[in-house]
Amino acid sequence: MRAFVINKYKGPLQESDVPEPTVGERDVLVQVQAAGLNVLDAKIRAGEFKQVLPYKLPLIPGNDVAGTVIRVGSKVRAFNPGDEVYARPHQDRIGTFAERIAVDEADLALKPASITMEEAGSLPLVALTAWQALVELGNVQPGQKVLIHAGAGGVGSIAIQLAKHLGATVATTASAGNLDFVRELGADIVIDYRSQDFEQLLSGYDLVLDSLGGQNLQKSLRVLKPGGKAIGISGPPDPAFAREAGMNPLLRLAVAGLSAGVRRQAKKLGVSYEFLFMRASGDQLRHITALIDNGSLRPVVGRVFPFDQTAEALQGLEMGGIRGKAVISNP
């Protein structure tokens, strides 16, 4: 089977012939027809997560899939050969930059009927991230104020739409060329991050979804109202994440140290900070499917690359500038 693999951290993606996936009794074998490209894939290739996600090399990356079911394990009841499906595979079983992948049925959902395979392939990771940030952790309610950074990006473009669906007033940051685009997605307040300082313009926010970290996260804490929450998806990781990931005590201590400064600052301001490393969930994808098919959410695909160009596509993603998501297509 053809696949693109990482043979060493910081090395290039290389096409390789790899063994067929092993299909367990609760697995679904999917013919990959579209695979979203994510910043997470670039960070995994660069070795940024090797302490917390100790993948064994060589590794097939890829965290989004849409395709057709080829066969199912003996205990699978919810899916049948021929079904069109999509998923974010479990973090221990990524590998969508390949012709086929075996996915646990719990992580899988039927593809939304109203969109293309490429659009479906763009969604799972970013839509689940937005859902888990805004619905699960954020508990966003009608009338609340939400700031979403990088609104034209993969997560941001879905999060703006979901926050509006939940009834929030939404502010976002974007470049000058994307201001009209994020308004079309539903943003109420749009800030050009190159020429305007969001900290000077915003205050009293209930929630911030931060995908940038560093100084941006620190400033985000200061636009929250007392009791507000900042959710970070690019870090730093916090002690709760270390516990859930089952890290050893020494590693837990190290991870706690990474976010100690920002958590201290948050406490001083009377707000909170949580790190989100999204998880796979077929159940949540079914909620997302309903929102897509009723028109509440629409996928944003900025560019489609053929499967043969997977390595170049990942390299291009690291340079930025793509609205929404880039997708690999292998029809």
- Answering whether pTM is above 0.85, one says yes
Going along the chain, which residue ranges are E strands? Answer: 2-6, 13-17, 27-37, 65-72, 84-87, 100-104, 108-110, 145-148, 169-174, 189-192, 205-210, 224-232, 272-275, 301-306, 325-329
Q: Which domains does the chain have, with CATH numbers?
A: 2-123+299-329 (3.90.180.10), 125-275 (3.40.50.720)
pLDDT value of position 301:
97
Identify the band that residue 234 occupies on the pLDDT scale cut at 50, 70 and 90.
confident
pLDDT attached to residue 13: 95
How many other CB atoms are found less than 10 A from the CB of residue 9? 15
**Rounded distance between C-alpha atoms, residue 95 and residue 57, angstroms:** 12
Model confidence at 28: pLDDT above 90:
yes
Q: Which helix (H) or strand (E) holds 123?
A: none
DSSP state of 278: -
- What are the distances in angstroms from CA 326 to CA 89, 123, 312, 322? 18, 10, 12, 7
The closest of 165, 152, 294 to 211, measured between CA atoms, is: 152
Tokens representing 225 are 């109202």
Name, in order, each residue with C-beta under 8 angstroms of 201's C-beta and a sequence gap of 6 or more: 189, 191
Of the candidates 64, 70, 125, the one whose C-alpha atom is nearest the C-alpha of residue 96 is 64
Q: What is the mean pLDDT of the chain?
A: 95
Q: Is the pLDDT of residue 260 over 80?
A: yes
DSSP bridge pairs for 172: 148, 190
Q: Does residue 178 contact residue 152 with C-beta atoms inside 8 Å?
A: yes
How would residue 245 be classed by pLDDT, with cut points 50, 70 and 90? Answer: confident
DSSP β-ladder status, 100-104 and 27-37 = antiparallel
Cβ–Cβ under 8 Å, residues 127 and 66: no
Q: What single letter denotes the amino acid at residue 68?
A: T
- Say what the pLDDT of residue 258 is: 85
Mean pLDDT across the stretch 170-191?
97
How large a percentage of the chain has pLDDT more than 90?
A: 85
CA atoms within a 13 Å half-sphere pointing along the CA-CB vector of 60: 24
Q: Which residues contact 262 (CB under 8 A, 6 or more apart)?
A: 217, 218, 221, 232, 236, 273
Q: What is the pLDDT of residue 149?
A: 98
| d(C-alpha 69, C-alpha 110), whole Å | 10
